[in-house]
Structures are given as structure tokens and as C-alpha cells.
Amino acid sequence: MATEAKKIRAGWYETRSKIVRLVILGGSGAGKGTQAQMLCKHLKTPWISTGEILRKAIAAQTELGRQAEPYFTKGELVPDPTMIEFIRERLLLEDAKNGWLLDGYPRTAFQAEELDFLLDKLKQRLNWAIWLDVPKSVLLSRSLARSREDDQPEIVQRRIDLFHECTMPILEYYERSERLLTVNGNQPPEQVHQEILKKLSLRD
């Protein structure tokens, strides 16, 4: 595929005008949060992490938190309708007008399709889906090395299994529409960051 055509399809010219809409994909422990925050700082764009938002919503016992809690605590996915509605409301907020980076969303192919459907209605488009490629064994050992309360071994294992079941079709979805950027996530964070920046600029 000619690079020029690929750039046009992925909305690259919109990217250059600084409105950047991205999703970052990777298993639990792939370094999504770290990379998302580095990238948002670089691009000066809001970081929207569904995991972090749900964690706070549960602590504060908001309506969203109450709906999500039974799933969240078991490492299960929160049902699509709850997540889709949440994302719709979040992307309508003022700070999301000039771009964003979604971390933890989409988690299912249905969420990915619904995101495109929503963006279509808003006359916006997703520029790229960044896939942090990390072997399953590395994901497991990294996740277990963290000390979050919801990172118990069975829950971590469940998340990784769920990830492979549900998230792989998302990669295919973005690959088909030529918006997938695959990055080697099994290297030091700064190197991963540099690889993302390089691939986002699509230098020949």
C-alpha cells in the first residue's frame, strides 16, 4: 500500500493539524498507561483511561461505579452498553473537542465499531490504533510484579485470557481499515515511546 494513500485513510492530514484521536491497545501489563501518559504529555491531549476512571468511580460509589463494581472486582469486562454510553458522554465534554487518547477502550470488537459509529455522527475520525505488542508470558510477570489490590494472580490471569479472547478481533478490525500501528512493547518505556512517535509520523 502506497504510504500516501495510507496517510489519507488514517486521517493523517488531520493529525498534522494537531487534532489527534488515538486508541492504545495492549494486554494488562503491556505498559499502556505509561505510554498513554507519555504520549498525551507530548501531544498535549487528554488521557482517557477507562480503567482509572472506573477505579475512581467505584471508590466514590457513583452510579457508573456501582454498575461497574461487580465486574471490575472479578476481572470481567463491564457490559458494552454501560461502557459505550460512558464513552459517548466523555467524548462530548469540552476538553475532548481537540483530540484525545483512549486507554482501555475499546476492549471488544463491538466497542470498536460503536466508537466509529459515534465518531461518524460527530463528524470525527479515529486516526490510529496503537498496538503494544508484548508476549503473554511477559504480560503475566509484569502484572504480578505490580501491587494493585485488583492484581491478584487469578484476576490477572483472567484479564490476560479475556484480553486474548476479546481484544484480538479489535486488532483485525483496525488492520482491515488500515489504522493499526504495531509497536514492540517489549523494550524500555522510552524506546517504546520513541517508536510510537516515529510510527505516528509515518516517516518513510
108 CB contacts (<8 Å, ≥6 apart)?
77, 80, 166, 167, 169, 170
Cα torsion angle, 117, 118, 124, 126, sign: negative
Residue 184 grid cell: 514492540
Least CB distance from residue 107 to ligand AMP, whole Å?
4
Q: Does 28 bind ligand AMP (CB under 6 A)?
A: yes
Q: Does 78 bind ligand AMP (CB under 6 A)?
A: yes
> Closer to ligand AMP at the Cβ: 5 or 168?
168
> Closer to ligand AMP at the Cβ: 14 or 113?
113
Q: Does 54 bind ligand AMP (CB under 6 A)?
A: yes
d(CA 151, CA 164): 18
Phi-psi region at 8: left, alpha or beta (left = phi > 0; alpha = psi -120 to 50): alpha
d(CA 27, CA 89): 25
Among 11, 31, 75, 99, binds ligand AMP (CB under 6 A): 75
Among 107, 142, 179, 193, binds ligand AMP (CB under 6 A): 107
Interface with ligand AMP (CB under 6 A):
28, 50-51, 54, 71-72, 75-78, 83, 104-105, 107, 111, 159
